[in-house]
Amino acid sequence: MDIFLQLIITGFMVGSIYALVALGWTLIYKSSGVLNLAMGELTLIGAYVSYTFYMWKIPFPLAVVFTLIIGVILGLLTERIFLRPLIGEPTLTVIMVTVGLSFFFRGLIFLFFNTDTLVFTPPVFPSEPVRLGNVVIGQVYIWSFIAALVLLAVFVIFFQRTRWGLAIQATADDEMAALSLGVSAKFVYAAAWAIAFMAAGVGGTLLGNINGINISIGYLGLLVLPAVVIGGLNSVPGAIVGGIIIGVLQNLAGGYLDPLTIAGFKVFPGGVKDIFPYVVMTIMLLVKPYGLWGWIRIERV
């Protein structure tokens, strides 16, 4: 029972990081219709950027802030250079360009870093775990959870309260109507990419603190796909819940399915944890292709 609780809690906390990255993904999809298959690399870039700042002896919170700033710059550049010329092109073309982008970003990273796992040194978060009764949780999970929640809250306030946040939502709902009021769709797309880079950057930073930094962060970043499929591609709350569900399921799969043995033989050769979210995604696509909250068209009363 304690193991179960522990898996759920840490899964929930890691899931909040996925939620952050998924929110960035959904934002791009909602506002511009671009299915971004480079989200894992955005996460990867964030991890390496913040690591670099941290190794330059910049305090961690400041390193995160710098990562956010770099994220904005890279997001604006990416949109301007790679995506804007493709406005109006067929969906498949745009998707293939994001695939190309993912290889480009990965190549760029390994131009500067080798493939060894890098670890934030000295460790950012204290290593002794926190005990809640019999449940033991590493502090890195707790702090990551808090950081992810704070950033999610900032994004939600931004969308609900600020001029640009509302403009982004308006464009996602009806681009033409927004344009008739002078809301520039181009600026909105650029803002969406900037926010996606920020969210993924912080997500990558937190994941890097948990697991160390190597190429696998990119694969973790790609977990947004099952997360957003569960949530329904174009729903921000859906992306957040989907991210958390994926975190929990992944942990449970790792805790129970991976070590599962029958009559002394391992049932799975290992790695169930990594593919389980995709299995769930496939099932979801079969039974509920629009996800939990996707494409809810409001019916007038």
Partner 1 sequence: MDTNGSILKLNNIEVMYHEVILVLKGVSLQVPAQSIVAVLGANGAGKSTTLKAISGLLKHEDGAVTDGSIEFMGQRIDRKHAEEIARAGIVQVIEGRRVFEHLTVEQNLIVGAHLRGGATVKPGLERVYHYFPRLTQIRHRLAGFCSGGEQQMMVMGRALMASPKLLLLDEPSMGLAPLLIKEIFTIITQLNQREQLPILVVEQNAKLALTVASYAYVLETGRVVMDGNADQLRDNQDIKEFYLGLTDLGTRKSFRDVKHYKRRKRWLT
Q: Which residues contribute to the site for partner 1 (CB under 8 A)? A: 160, 163, 166-167, 169-170, 172-184, 298, 300-301
Q: Which is nearer to partner 1, 176 or 262 (CB)?
A: 176
Q: Which is nearer to partner 1, 2 or 174 (CB)?
A: 174
Give least dist CB 228 to partner 1, A.
17
Give least dist CB 10 to partner 1, A.
33
Q: Which is nearer to partner 1, 22 or 236 (CB)?
A: 236
Give least dist CB 66 to partner 1, A.
29
Residues 27/28/31/35 CA torsion (nearest 10 deg): -120
Q: Which is nearer to partner 1, 162 or 282 (CB)?
A: 162
As to burial, measured by CB atoms within 10 angstroms (0-12 exposed, 13-18 middle, 19+ buried), residue 137 is middle
Q: Rounded to a whole number, what is the distance in angstroms from the first to the last CA of the chain?
A: 46
As to burial, measured by CB atoms within 10 angstroms (0-12 exposed, 13-18 middle, 19+ buried), residue 114 is exposed
Q: Which is nearer to partner 1, 263 or 301 (CB)?
A: 301
CA–CA gap between residue 289 and residue 301 (Å, rounded): 26
Q: Which is nearer to partner 1, 99 or 177 (CB)?
A: 177
Query: At residue 51, what is the residue type?
Result: Y
What phi and psi values does residue 136 have, to the nearest 5 degrees?
Answer: -115, 125
Other beta carbons less than 10 A from residue 270's beta carbon: 11
Three-state SS for 118? strand
Q: Which is nearer to partner 1, 152 or 167 (CB)?
A: 167
Give least dist CB 104 to partner 1, A.
30
Question: For residue 24, which of 285, 224, 175, 248 has the smallest C-alpha distance?
Answer: 224
Q: Which helix (H) or strand (E) holds 249?
A: helix 236-252
CA–CA gap between residue 149 and residue 16 (Å, rounded): 7
What phi and psi values does residue 116 have, to the nearest 5 degrees?
Answer: -65, 155
Give least dist CB 90 to partner 1, A.
15
Give least dist CB 295 to partner 1, A.
12
Tokens encoding 119: 């670890």
Give least dist CB 186 to partner 1, A.
9
| Dihedral sign, Cα of residue 211, residue 215, residue 218, residue 220 | negative
